[in-house]
Amino acid sequence: MPTAELYNNLALCCFYAQQYDMALACFDRALALAEDQHLADVWYNLGLVALLGMPTAELYNNLALCCFYAQQYDMALTCFDRALALAEDQHLADVWYNLGLVALSSGDKTLATRAFRLALVYDNCHAESYNNLGVLELTSGNVDQTGDLQGCARAASKCSQHAASADLLQKVQAFFQSH
């Protein structure tokens, strides 16, 4: 069975063979499979790759999240800034979405709302951003702004494992049943 360590090493081999897209895909797979003891190695190697000259928006976006979870907030913002500078239109929505998640985790609902709205500017089908905006409106008591039941159901069906989506859908259903 493939392991995080295997994908981590494969990513480094791909990088040194100048197969950069494959290297990023392998790093992504390594991160998905990594358990605590291998997670640091994957992020370390991903950071080395960034330093060695493969700057991409996805890389800086992931490094920003890594820095945030390591409580390196200044570095996280620097990485997000770099990701925004490097991103092409198809990746800007993901960068803004992740920045919104970081803002939400930090308790800055205003920045989170702005970031999720900017994600929608670059991808107006970004279901996760719609969902999180709905959750923010609901938690602020703005039930009218959460969107219609059909929109919530669509967002929830896109990611059935997302607890906040399921919770929002239940609350909106209850609201519409009571009115």
Secondary structure (H, E, C), 32-84: HHCCHHHHHHHHHHHHHHHHCCCCCHHHHHHHHHHHHHCCCHHHHHHHHHHHH
Q: Provide the pLDDT confidence category of residue 115 given band limits of 50, 70 and 90.
A: very high
What is the assigned CATH class of domain 60-116?
Answer: mainly alpha
In the chain, what percentage of residues exceed pLDDT 70?
71
| pTM of model > 0.75 | no
Where along the chain do its domains lie? 1-54, 60-116, 125-179
* pLDDT score recorded for residue 162: 66
DSSP code of 19? -
In the chain, what percentage of residues exceed pLDDT 90?
16
pLDDT at residue 78 tops 90:
no
* pLDDT score recorded for residue 142: 66
DSSP code of 88? -
What's the whole-number mean pLDDT along residues 82-93?
A: 89
pLDDT at residue 22 tops 60:
yes
Q: Provide the pLDDT confidence category of residue 75 given band limits of 50, 70 and 90.
A: confident
* Nearest of 103, 174, 162, 106 to residue 131 by alpha carbon: 162
* pLDDT score recorded for residue 21: 78
What's the whole-number mean pLDDT along residues 9-27?
A: 79
- DSSP of 99-154: HHHHHHHTT-HHHHHHHHHHHHHH-TT-HHHHHHHHHHHHHTT-GGGG--HHHHHH
pLDDT at residue 155 tops 70:
no
Alpha-carbon distance of 129 to 28, in angstroms, equals 21
What's the whole-number mean pLDDT along residues 29-40?
A: 73
pLDDT at residue 85 tops 90:
yes
pLDDT at residue 61 tops 80:
yes
Among 25-29, 111-115, 150-154, 157-161, the least confident range: 150-154
For residues 96 and 87, is the Cβ–Cβ distance under 8 A?
Answer: no
Alpha-carbon distance of 174 to 179, in angstroms, equals 9
Alpha-carbon distance of 132 to 150, in angstroms, equals 16
Burial (CB count <10 Å: 0-12, 13-18, 19+), residue 85 = exposed
pLDDT at residue 149 tops 50:
no
Alpha-carbon distance of 134 to 163, in angstroms, equals 13
* pLDDT score recorded for residue 20: 75
